[in-house]
Each structure stands twice: as C-alpha cells, then as structure tokens.
Amino acid sequence: MISNEIFLKYLNQLEAGESFLLVQADKPIAELKPITTTNKQQRPFGLCAGEFILPDDFDAPLPDEILHAF
C-alpha cells in the first residue's frame, strides 16, 4: 500500500509535467503522464451564416424507398 505522502509526491511530480512508466516483471505495462490541455478558443457563433440554406422540408418523413433501404 502506498502512503498518502508518497502518493502526493508523485502527484506533484505529475502536475509539474513528469511522466512515469509502470513496470511489472521488467515489462512496461502502463505510462502515467500529465494531461496536456490546449487553450483553444471556441468558434464564434454563426461562423457559417449564409453558407447554406436549410430546406423547408428538412424534417419531413423520408420517401418509402429510402426507409426500406434501412
């Protein structure tokens, strides 16, 4: 069992950007590494406004031949 002190030590190292390779019987079995976040900005609302027009019958039932294909 790992103590809280040791766990926090490793957690702090992960937070600082370090990675750990977990090994069992001299075989690597897993890698622990920090999650990398990208600070992407959200796309603006209405970015494609006017690019296409939704037809009036968009949500109308499909023709029988198409329904039977499914």
Query: For residue 2, is pLDDT > 80?
Result: no
* Domain span holding position 25: 1-36
Would you say how long the chain is, in residues?
A: 70
Domain assignment present for residue 56? The answer is no
3-class SS of residue 6 = helix
Q: Please tell me the total count of domains within the chain.
A: 1
Q: What is the pLDDT of residue 20?
A: 94
Return the half-sphere exposure (C-beta side, CA atoms, 13 A cut-off) of residue 53: 3
Torsions phi, psi of 55, nearest 5? -65, 155
Residue range 44-57: average pLDDT?
Answer: 86
Query: For residue 48, is pLDDT > 90?
Result: no
Query: For residue 41, is pLDDT > 90?
Result: no
Nearest to 15 by CA among 36, 38, 31: 36
Domain assignment present for residue 21? The answer is yes
18 touches 9 (CB < 8 A): no
Both tokens of residue 17? 């950007």
